[in-house]
Amino acid sequence: MLEEDFSSPNDSLQIDNVERTGTAGERIKIRLSDGSCFFARDEDLKRLGIDPYDRGSDLHLSEATIRGLRDSSARIQAMDKALDLLARAPHSTFTLRTKLLRRKFETRVVEEILTSLLDNGYLDDAGFAEDWLRNRCERRPEGRAALLAGLLRKGIGRRLAEQVLQMYLTPELEREHALRVLEKLRRQGVMDQARLINRLKARGFAFPLIRSLLERPEEL
């Protein structure tokens, strides 16, 4: 994911050009004498023992130093992409990891970025699960089984998914969802009881709930 791939580091490489970028100049773009380009922050360069503005003839970059520049550049670019994706839409840790890996960032770098985002509150799987569940129920009423499956597909762990469902989907709310679906099916002309049962089960409602509704038509 670097601007230019670095193929064969050697002790003759030197810093050719330095440019501060970012809204507040918080990162440094470094171009080396072979044309390769890296991004770093001041703390990265300090850790590597580099003064980016010291471009004297006696400054040569070792292979280890260039490897460090490559790592810092990969982290910066992965973080930029992660924040861009989060700005576009909410993500769970799983969905963000999947998209970053799909963009060919190294697994090690991706895991570092995800840890940083979690620690700083940019990622919150519980909050994501609650928002997803609320939006899903508003658009498409479903039963507990279907909603649980949807959360699992989004990469939410089963334990957390079940906890969020327990808090949000009360028996009364699930019954209301089932009534809404049943009323819609009736309006569409679906009257056969077997078909109604199958359609409601396909939407994740448990059979005891379905049976109780079909046995009490006065609720419709």
Same domain flag for 72 and 27: yes
Whether residue 99 is contained in a domain is answered as yes
**SS3 call for 38:** strand
**What average pLDDT score do residues 164-181 get?**
94
Whether residue 3 is contained in a domain is answered as no
Same domain flag for 20 and 115: yes
- Fill in the amino acid letter for 137: C
Whether residue 2 is contained in a domain is answered as no
Same domain flag for 156 and 71: no
Same domain flag for 29 and 71: yes
Same domain flag for 19 and 63: yes
| Domain end point (choices 119, 150, 174) | 119
Q: How far is Cα of residue 194 from the mean position of the Cα atoms in its chain?
A: 41
Whether residue 6 is contained in a domain is answered as no
**What average pLDDT score do residues 133-162 get?**
94
Mean pLDDT, rounded, of the chain: 86
Neighbouring CB atoms inside 10 A of 9's CB total 19
| Exposed/middle/buried for residue 152 (C-beta within 10 Å: 0-12, 13-18, 19+) | middle
Query: Residue 145 is part of which domain span?
Result: 125-219
Same domain flag for 164 and 131: yes
Would the pTM count as exceeding 0.85?
no
| Domain end point (choices 119, 141, 164) | 119
Please give the tally of structural domains in the chain: 2
Same domain flag for 53 and 131: no
Region of poorest pLDDT, from 63-67, 156-160, 202-206: 63-67
Same domain flag for 60 and 133: no
Q: Which residues pair with 108 in a beta bridge?
A: none
Task: Decide which of 86 and 30 is more confident.
Answer: 86
Whether residue 69 is contained in a domain is answered as yes
> How do beta strands 37-40 and 27-32 pair?
antiparallel
Same domain flag for 30 and 93: yes
Sheet holding 27-32, edge to edge: 15-21, 27-32, 37-40
Same domain flag for 161 and 180: yes
pLDDT tens by residue, 181-201: 999 999 999 889 999 999 999
Task: Judge contact between 99 and 113, C-beta under 8 A.
Answer: no
Q: How far is CA 176 from CA 66, 172, 210, 215, in A?
A: 61, 6, 12, 16
Q: What are phi and psi of 213, to 5 degrees?
A: -70, -45
CATH number of the domain encompassing residue 73 = 1.10.10.10
Band of residue 151 on the pLDDT scale cut at 50, 70, 90:
very high
Whether residue 9 is contained in a domain is answered as no
Sign of CA dihedral 45, 49, 55, 59: negative
Same domain flag for 101 and 129: no
Whether residue 4 is contained in a domain is answered as no
Q: What are phi and psi of 114, to 5 degrees?
A: -65, -40
Task: Decide which of 59 and 82 is more confident.
Answer: 82
Whether residue 5 is contained in a domain is answered as no
Task: Judge contact between 168 and 134, C-beta under 8 A.
Answer: yes
Q: Is the pLDDT of residue 218 over 90?
A: no
Same domain flag for 19 and 110: yes
| Domain end point (choices 119, 135, 154) | 119
Task: Judge contact between 100 and 110, C-beta under 8 A.
Answer: yes
Q: What pLDDT sits at residue 215?
A: 83
Q: Which residue has the tokens 């039963």?
A: 143
